[in-house]
Structure formats: structure tokens, C-alpha cells
Amino acid sequence: AEPAKWHAVGHKIWNYGNPQGGVEDPELYRRNYGLLLWRVNYDGGGPWAWQSSAAGGMWNDFNDERRAVAVTYPAAERPIDTIAWEGLREAVDDVRYGTTLKLAIAAAKEADDEGRRKLAVAADRFLAEFDVTGDLDAIRRRIIEYILQLRDLEGAG
């Protein structure tokens, strides 16, 4: 609905700060920045900051009444990941799997093989109806199963 309106006039739509950085709940990042945004056709999302500290000390949670906000921590060579970062990484992987399945569905719907077309319809229905509050690992497994089944039928045809 709303994303389609923005896309129709050439714009992209993003979700901001759901959650902000610093929340130590990787599943929340995975769900909210992954399949949830993908399902509603948003183009992206992100927290307010990857690294921020009101008191200027990213490594000290006790130097201010508020903790540092960190999806990653600064270091000399490269940022140090947090569990929030790992949730975001899983979110990206979920979207990649979902997108791979969408592409396989589109190809299968054009196939001559009726079995492949029926499987594509079932996979498309799954993507439209899976519970975004459900078990993300189970959803990913089912997406992978559909990808593999569609590829197997493609090779058989």
C-alpha cells in the first residue's frame, strides 16, 4: 500500500530506528531489518547510529547516565561486531534467500512443466503468508527447501 505509492513516483522507502543501535537483541534486528521490511516492500532500514557516545567513551558504559549506542565498536583495524551486528547480518542473509526464491518463482511460473509452475505458486503463497513473528530459522529453512525443489525441477525439465 504505502510503499507502492512511493515507488510509483520513483522514490525509495526506508524504515528508521526500529530498533536504534545499542539494543542487545539480535533477533529483533534480524526480524525488523530483514524479512519484515522485505515482506512489506521497503527498500532498506537502519538504526540512528552505528557508534555514538554522549560522553565520548564508547568503551565505558558507566561514564554517563546513558550507555554508548553501538552496533559495532571502534578498533584500529576494523570495527568489532556486537550481537546486534550479527542480527543485521542474518537479516541480510534472510533477504538474500527470499530474493533468490522470488527469482526462482518468476522463472518457474514461465516454465512448460506444470509441476514446476504449481510449486512456484505454492512457494509464492508461502512468501506472501509466512508469519513475520514466527521462527526465523524455520522460515529460512522453508525458503531454502523451495529454492532447492524448484532448482531440482528445473534440472529435470
The sign of the CA dihedral 52, 57, 59, 61 is negative
What's the pLDDT tens digit per position in 142-155?
A: 999 999 999 998 87
Residue 56 gets the label, from left (phi > 0), alpha (psi -120 to 50) or beta, of: left
Peptide bond into 3 cis (omega under 30): no
Q: How many residues does the chain have?
A: 157
157 pLDDT more than 60:
no
Cα–Cα distance list, 96 to 5, 12, 38 (Å): 24, 19, 10
Residue ranges covered by each domain of the chain: 2-84, 88-156
- 8: buried, middle or exposed (CB in 10 Å: 19+, 13-18, 0-12)? exposed
- Best CA proximity match to 140, nearest among 14, 17, 13, 38: 38
The amino acid sitting at 20 is Q
Give the phi and the psi of residue 77 in degrees, each rounded to 5. -90, -45
What confidence score (pLDDT) does residue 135 get? Answer: 98
Q: Model's pTM, two decimal places?
A: 0.90
What's the pLDDT tens digit per position in 59-110?
A: 887 887 777 888 999 999 999 999 999 999 999 999 999 999 999 999 999 9
- Best CA proximity match to 140, nearest among 153, 126, 152, 150: 126
